[in-house]
Amino acid sequence: MKKILYSVMAIAALTFSFTSLTSCEDVPAPYEIPGEDTPDTPAAEPAGTGTQADPFNVAGALKYIENGGDENTEVYVKGKVVSVVSGSYDASYGSLKYYISDDGTETNQFYVFNGYAGPNRTKFSGEDALKAGDEVVICGKLVTFNGTKEFTTGNYVVSINGNGGGSDQPSAGVATGDGTQANPFNSVAANNYASSLAADVESDKDVYIKGKVVSVKEQYNTQYGNATFYISDDGKEGNQFCVYRALYLNNAKYTSGTGVSVGDDVVVCGKVVNYKGNTPETVSGKAYLVSLKSNGGGSGSGSGEGTTGDAKSSNGNFENWTNGQPNNWKTTSSAGNATLSQSTDAHSGKYSVKVAGSTTQNKRLGYKEMTLKAGEYTVTFYAKAATSTGASVRPGYVPVKDGTNPTGSDYKYGDYVNDITSTEWVKVTYTFTIETEGTYSVIIMNAKKPGGDVLIDDYTLALGNTIIIK
């Protein structure tokens, strides 16, 4: 009887289980099962021609590679940032590794290898410089590397979210100017023009370039008297152009009292080159400053006292100063060995120069080296003691040969002018004869006896009726 009962119960249980299982087919699942009934995200259709005006979309970039696109040609691609590779930022290079796609998702994403924030390897500020969803236009070369389709190293961002993405990001930039003195290139046009040249081939003409100083790489090279700095339209790194080893105003060498600072407005003239085929810049020693307007720059060397007066003036009246030093009154040789400073005690105008004295050594104020023809020259200037100690001065000149420093016997002087007081200006006149055309520096000695500081103003140098310095 028990066996019969157990058999009936088993059959009933089996029947219930079967019925329950079949009835569950009509009950909806409490959540969506991954991979079931989820529509695929449609890939974007290839679009664009790869130009700056009509960039590829990501699908277009992929098709370009698949169709055998030129790996040596730069193209433009537009997309949205998917992600930045964690740890890819290196401060020494400033590049990033990241992915883009047409819609900002991982679907058909494209690898951007070692990309930069702007042309000429402009550095990103950090790993957070790009954010997921940022819309970017990138310029660079497309390759397939180990099976991965990607932008190769050296690519750069042209725009972020249509406008450069903020103050720390490069703007798209618009080329302006034709490179003439009347209409100088801006930094974008200068980059474009230099980039159009064959690698390491100098331009066949001098061009004019204007901009605001972004940074100063080398303020003053003591051996060559030139400087290296970067300029752009707005003083930011986006679209900056490299002014490489250019000379100072009037195509003269920089000295310890001259220089440019971050924020200064400049115009540069000279030849340009596409160095190694990837770095547009001015040609070393073949460019110079045409104009300089100091704007109280922040990080360039020098005293930061800015520029006053006309930078193109010969500056015999000492009205023209850059970074606390009188323009043109600094020699590349040891002819001018005195410490100079600006004084508002002037014979005329606003300023004179104070020439620091010494009781152990004669100190000299020297004008920059220049070519003087054979002939008779006349010097006039005014002197006044800066302190009650009094002063003694002695006018003169010295030949400078092959950039070497003059020795004691090289210096030629007129008479001492003694007993100069701090109460009145004394006029000094000196005449001398140059026998052979050559390079010379005109000087004023501040004698070690008494060795006090002396003020100098209104210096003139004339060859007959021709005024050379005034």
How far is the C-alpha of 368 from the C-alpha of 249, rounded, in Å? 12
**pLDDT confidence of 403, banded at 50, 70, 90?**
low
Buried b (16+ CB within 10 A) or exposed e, 382-407: bbbbbeeebbbbbbbbbbbeeeeebe
Is pTM, for the whole model, over 0.85?
no
The pLDDT, as a whole number, for residue 258 is 65
How far is the C-alpha of 241 from the C-alpha of 282, rounded, in Å? 9
Residues of the chain with CATH 2.60.120.260: 307-469
Let me know: does 193 contact 181? Beta carbons within 8 Å: no
E-assigned strand segments in 69-181: 74-84, 96-101, 110-115, 135-145, 148-151, 156-160
Other beta carbons less than 10 A from residue 225's beta carbon: 19
Q: Reduced to 3 states, what is the DSSP secondary structure of residue 25?
A: helix
Backbone torsions φ then ψ of 101, nearest 5 degrees: -150, 175
Strand 321-322 to strand 307-308: parallel, antiparallel, or no bridges (unpaired)? antiparallel
The burial class, CB within 10 Å (0-12 / 13-18 / 19+), for 51 is exposed
Backbone torsions φ then ψ of 273, nearest 5 degrees: -150, 150
Q: 110 to each of 56, 80, 251, 302, 429, how far by Cα in Å?
A: 12, 10, 49, 47, 77
How far is the C-alpha of 282 from the C-alpha of 246, rounded, in Å? 7
- Residue entry with tokens 């054979």: 374
- Report the CATH fold assignment for 307-469: Jelly Rolls (2.60.120)
How far is the C-alpha of 335 from the C-alpha of 393, rounded, in Å? 15
Q: What CATH number is given for 58-160 in this structure?
A: 2.40.50.140
Number of H helices, E strands in the chain: 3, 26
Q: Percent of the chain beyond pLDDT 90?
A: 51
Q: Which residue type is seen at 340?
A: L
Kindly report, residue by residue over 211-247, the tens digit of the pLDDT.
Answer: 999 888 887 666 678 889 999 988 887 789 999 999 9
Q: Which CATH superfamily is domain 187-293 in?
A: Nucleic acid-binding proteins (2.40.50.140)
Q: Percent of the chain beyond pLDDT 70?
A: 82
**pLDDT confidence of 167, banded at 50, 70, 90?**
very low
Q: Reduced to 3 states, what is the DSSP secondary structure of residue 156?
A: strand
Task: Give yes or no for residue 9 having a pLDDT over 60.
Answer: no
Task: Give yes or no for residue 417 having a pLDDT over 90.
Answer: yes
How far is the C-alpha of 259 from the C-alpha of 324, rounded, in Å? 10
Give which of 237, 115, 108 is closest to 167, Cα–Cα. Answer: 237
Kindly report, residue by residue over 82-98, the tens digit of the pLDDT.
Answer: 999 998 887 777 889 99
Residues of the chain with CATH 2.40.50.140: 58-160, 187-293
Segment 109-129 shows an average pLDDT of 84
